[in-house]
């Protein structure tokens, strides 16, 4: 139970009057007792349960007052810590780029960051309006700045916001140039945050930051257009931005690439921080793409594309060959396989010519790399091997995937795809849309579909089928309880196959740093990875089965068998977790 003195101390240094009033109101409810007192105590206990720290995707949490919330006090001290870190790293003339989405508080948090940076002696460049996360990542590389901040909670619920930090310029070199922070930078920045003055004592400049010109946004659009394959375009596309900030930018890029037959989901096209048409603004969540799928059925679309609210993710749906008139949403691993295969085909076809022309971006004789997180499908490794490319498995999160050496393409199963790492060292849902639409268009000219490519990959490498099991909790302690149960009980078999490997990932795994979670592998090569989510109150299980496929096999039947195995594994894993 949080002490009233601790709340009072926070109130004394909070620069936002509305947050001060909210905390004072909760304290008053405690004093008055009655029915509201217990609710006020629960709210205060959660708001002061700890401090927001950099996780899988930076700082992220519920909007509200207190150290365990996203608010001006937390953001101002975070900005002060970042600026102190940059001063040590590159000197007092550090430069920072700042972007923001259309969520509640985002613009204010971005302006506070600019004000802190200028007051600290640095140079701040602020976007004039809300734009997609990949535009900020692009700006960092394009402008050669030392760091970038993106204020966004991506696909989280409306009541959340967040704070992503990237390093570039003089702050970091090598493959981490332009990527989100990883250890030890995150801990070093956090230490500077801890050492920062109380929020109301951090100097804030009233002006002095530079507004980024529209030319930079236009440059991002032009680069996205350049990723499309040439030729006429007659692909019919349905597009939704999920009430986020990607609608205008994605439409501009697709149109510029030649895709003119685009039907937007009007109800979701304009930014709206309440996300009124969806229960949860994540294209992966059941029901989130219903409006897009209904529109696709009415217009007979070839492809459905969806961005999440900050447009760094891309989901897609295609015609369901088993149910005429219906559409099937592709899994993140299926999109990853398609885009990975596309990237590998292009790399292999042009490898000799690049070497002859001296245009190998990684240096003479260097092979490109395909990468994905350890929880993503192992199919990408087979695609890389068949195209004589390197493959790298990384820890979960694009801060790890995007810093892979000689990266050509990287992805994570949570619909994050990096198709242009030379310009955006992060996942980018807009350029992923362009590349996926281009592949669908090329196949349409040949009388083929994206499903045909997935079938081809299954026949060549075997059927790799994945499925998630996510357990959302109200009490975060249940996540550790589930992991403890798994470790103590162990798993002897899954879907009738003996477990041959049970790895505690916290001690490191096959050259990867330690991370919270467990990996289970069976004789049949079925695999389960269990880990806590880095962005949401969930315990996440990533299941994959691999089935051999004969050339004349009925793939529908093979997929049904794989689905049955996955369903059985989910039941067994849930029983072991016991939550």
User: Strand pairing of 538-547 and 463-472?
Assistant: antiparallel
Whether the predicted pLDDT of 194 surpasses 60: yes
Residue 21 or 37, more confident: 21
pLDDT at 54: 80
Global pTM reads 0.95
Q: Assign 121 to helix, strand or coil.
A: coil
CA distance 74 to 355: 50
**pLDDT over 80 (residue 138):** yes
Distances, alpha carbon 387 to alpha carbons 327, 346, 348, 349, 380, in Å: 31, 10, 6, 10, 11
User: Which pLDDT belongs to residue 543?
Assistant: 98
Q: What pLDDT was estimated at residue 360?
A: 66
Predicted confidence at residue 53, as pLDDT, reads 86
Task: Give the whole-angstrom CA distance, residue 535 versus residue 533.
Answer: 6
Q: Provide the 10 A C-beta neighbour count for residue 420.
A: 21
Place of tokens 């045909």: 452
Distance CA 155, CA 147 (A): 23
217-324 matches 56-208 in CATH topology: yes
Span 287-295, average pLDDT: 97
Mean pLDDT of 99-112: 98
Query: What order of strands is seen across the sheet that includes strand 493-494?
Result: 463-472, 538-547, 527-532, 518-522, 497-504, 493-494
CATH code assigned to 56-208: 3.40.120.10
**pLDDT for 357-411, tens place per residue?**
565 666 777 899 999 999 999 999 999 999 999 999 999 999 999 999 999 999 9
User: For residue 254, what pLDDT is reported?
Assistant: 98
pLDDT tens-digit readout, 318-346: 999 889 999 999 999 999 999 999 999 99
Q: For 498-527, what is the mean pLDDT?
A: 94
Active-site hit among 38, 106, 130, 154: 154
* pLDDT at position 36: 85
Look at the domain 462-577 and name its fold: TATA-Binding Protein (3.30.310)
Based on the residue annotation, tell me whether 154 is a catalytic residue of this protein: yes
Question: 533: pLDDT confidence band, cut at 50, 70 and 90?
Answer: confident
What's the token pair of residue 36?
């509201």
pLDDT on residue 123:
98
Cβ atoms of 72 and 108 closer than 8 Å: yes
- 3-state class (DSSP) for residue 451: helix
- Tell me: the pLDDT tens digits for 45-93? 999 999 998 876 689 999 999 999 999 999 999 999 999 999 999 999 9
The CATH H-level superfamily of 333-446 is: Alpha-D-Glucose-1,6-Bisphosphate, subunit A, domain 3 (3.40.120.10)
Mean pLDDT of 285-296: 96
Angle at 316 between CA 311 and CA 320, to 5 degrees: 165
φ/ψ of residue 427, rounded to 5: -70, 145
Phi, psi of 267 (to 5 degrees): -65, -20
Give the percent of the chain with pLDDT over 90: 89
**pLDDT of res. 307:** 98
Question: Could you tell me the residue ranges of all domains in the chain?
Answer: 1-49, 56-208, 217-324, 333-446, 462-577
CA-based nearest residue to 94, from 126, 120, 128 = 120
**Cα gap 68→75, rounded to integer Å:** 12
CATH numeric code, 217-324: 3.40.120.10
The pLDDT of residue 1 is 81
**Interval 3-24: pLDDT, tens:** 889 999 999 999 999 999 999 9
**Model confidence at 173, in pLDDT bands (50, 70, 90)?**
very high
Q: How far apart are CA 171 and CA 88, in angstroms?
A: 10
Report whether 456 contacts 278 (CB < 8 A).
no
What's the pLDDT at 352? 66
- Which secondary-structure segment (H or E) carries 493? strand 493-494
Place of tokens 């006429």: 232
Residue 535 predicted with pLDDT over 80:
no
Tokens of 510: 């096959």
Instruction: Give the ranges where 61-184 is alpha helix by DSSP (H).
Output: 72-90, 106-119, 133-143
Does residue 155 surpass a pLDDT of 60? yes
Residue 71 burial (C-beta neighbours within 10 Å; 0-12, 13-18, 19+)? buried
Say if residue 134's pLDDT is above 90.
yes
**pLDDT: is 31 or 270 the higher one?**
270
* Cis amide leading into 184 (omega within 30): yes
Q: What is the pLDDT of residue 358?
A: 60
State residue 357's pLDDT score: 58
Query: How far apart, in whole angstroms, are the C-alpha atoms of residue 501 and residue 520?
Result: 6
């Amino acid at each position: 139970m949080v002490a009233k003195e601790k709340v009072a101390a926070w109130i004394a240094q909070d620069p936002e009057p509305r947050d001060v009033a909210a905390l004072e109101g909760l304290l008053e409810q405690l004093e008055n007792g009655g029915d509201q007192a217990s609710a006020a105590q629960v709210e205060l206990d959660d708001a002061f349960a700890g401090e927001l720290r950099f996780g899988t995707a930076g700082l992220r949490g519920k909007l509200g007052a207190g150290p365990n919330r996203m608010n001006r006090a937390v953001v101002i001290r975070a900005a002060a810590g970042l600026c102190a870190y940059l001063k040590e790293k590159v000197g007092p003339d550090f430069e920072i780029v700042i972007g923001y989405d259309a969520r509640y508080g985002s613009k204010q948090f971005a302006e506070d960051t600019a004000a802190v940076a200028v007051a600290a002696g640095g140079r701040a460049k602020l976007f004039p309006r809300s734009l997609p996360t990949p535009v900020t990542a692009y700006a960092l590389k394009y402008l050669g700045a030392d760091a970038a901040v993106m204020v966004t909670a991506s696909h989280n619920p409306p009541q959340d916001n967040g704070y992503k930090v990237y390093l570039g310029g003089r702050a970091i070199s090598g493959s981490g140039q332009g990527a989100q922070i990883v250890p030890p930078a995150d801990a070093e920045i956090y230490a500077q945050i801890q050492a920062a003055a109380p929020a109301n004592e951090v100097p804030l400049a009233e002006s002095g930051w530079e507004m980024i010109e529209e030319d930079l946004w236009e440059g991002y659009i032009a680069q996205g257009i350049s990723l499309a394959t040439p030729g006429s375009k007659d692909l019919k596309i349905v597009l939704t931005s999920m009430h986020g900030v990607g609608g205008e930018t994605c439409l501009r890029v697709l149109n510029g690439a030649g895709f003119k037959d685009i039907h937007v989901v009007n109800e979701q096209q304009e930014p709206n921080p309440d996300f009124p048409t969806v229960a949860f603004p994540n294209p992966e969540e059941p029901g989130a793409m219903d409006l897009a799928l209904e529109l696709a059925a009415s217009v007979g679309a070839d492809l459905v594309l969806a961005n999440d609210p900050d447009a760094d993710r891309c989901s897609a749906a295609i015609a369901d060959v088993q149910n005429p008139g219906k559409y099937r949403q592709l899994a993140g691993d299926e999109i990853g396989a398609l885009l990975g295969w596309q990237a590998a085909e292009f790399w292999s076809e042009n490898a000799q010519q690049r070497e002859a022309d001296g245009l190998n971006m990684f240096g003479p004789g260097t092979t490109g790399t395909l990468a994905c997180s350890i929880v993503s499908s192992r199919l990408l490794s087979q695609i890389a091997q068949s195209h004589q490319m390197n493959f790298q498995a990384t820890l979960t999160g694009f801060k790890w995937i995007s810093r892979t050496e000689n990266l050509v393409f990287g992805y994570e199963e949570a619909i994050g795809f990096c198709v242009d790492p030379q310009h955006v060292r992060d996942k980018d849902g807009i350029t992923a849309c362009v590349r996926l639409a281009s592949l669908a268009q090329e196949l349409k000219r040949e009388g083929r579909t994206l499903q045909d490519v997935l079938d081809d990959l299954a026949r060549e490498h075997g059927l790799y089928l994945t499925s998630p099991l996510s357990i959302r909790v109200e009490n975060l302690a249940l996540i550790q309880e589930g992991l403890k149960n798994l470790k103590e009980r162990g798993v002897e078999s899954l879907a009738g196959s003996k477990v041959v490997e049970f790895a505690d990932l916290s001690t490191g795994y096959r050259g990867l740093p330690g991370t919270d979670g467990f990996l289970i592998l069976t004789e049949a090569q079925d695999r389960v990875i269990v880990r806590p989510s880095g962005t949401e109150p969930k315990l996440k299980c990533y299941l994959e089965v691999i089935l051999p496929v004969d050339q004349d096999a009925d793939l529908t039947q093979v997929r049904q068998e794989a689905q049955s195995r996955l369903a059985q594994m989910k039941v067994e894993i849930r029983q072991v977790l016991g939550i």
